[in-house]
Structure 1
């Protein structure tokens, strides 16, 4: 069971890593305006959260034989199809939702940073007047 969870984490984290690369590069491209960069990062990270949430709720019903987790671990399970579906679908659901929770925390942090930078810019503008 630990191997199944480890493989599920590995496949999800690989996808999240590519998403994080895209978010970071977008934020870097918009770094000329810190508020805009943080807002874009927050919006994109919120989209990643929504995608992980969707995948987590879909996982128990989605055919696990079409996943990377099945190609790595499923063939060695030697379980009936229904039992393997319940086992692997449940593991994928738990791991997707765990990663969605972390993406939500990161999105909240980015939204907070955007708000803080905006408030600092607003306060600096008011002090300069």
Structure 2
């Protein structure tokens, strides 16, 4: 179970690192207006948060044997995958992946909120 959680985190964080790279690049492009850059970063991270929540909502309905998590499990924990019946593996993967997606969505949402607050404070200071 802990191996599955670790691999799910790895898969989610890989995707989030690419999203973060895009957000940081856009914020750097808008750095001439710092409140605008912070607001834009917060808005995009809020969209990422919604995407994570949507993926978590969809997870129990998808066939996870076509997911990156399944590939990682086959590579790193093939004994665990082969010891479980297919329905049990699907249920366990769906529960774990959904839990980890919601946890990451909470973290991304907190960062978005922090960026919005910083943008608001900076706008008030600069006005």
| TM-score (norm: length of structure 2) | 0.92
Q: What is the match of residue 65 of structure 1? A: 65
* Structure 1 segments (4+ residues) deviating >6 Å: none
Q: How many residues align?
A: 122
Q: Per-residue deviation at 1:21?
A: 0.6
For residues 88 and 42 of structure 2, the distance between their equivalents in structure 1, rounded to whole angstroms, comes to 39
Gaps of 5+ in 1: 123-129
**1:72-87 alignment to 2 at 5 Å?**
72-74=72-74, 76=78, 77-78=81-82, 79-87=84-92
1:93 maps to 2:98: yes
Q: Does the residue aligned with 1:59 lie in a helix, a strand or coil?
A: helix
1:31 maps to 2:36: no
Q: Per-residue deviation at 1:62?
A: 1.1
Pairwise CA RMSD: 1.1
| TM-score (norm: length of structure 1) | 0.91
Tell which structure's C-alpha radius of gyration is larger: 1
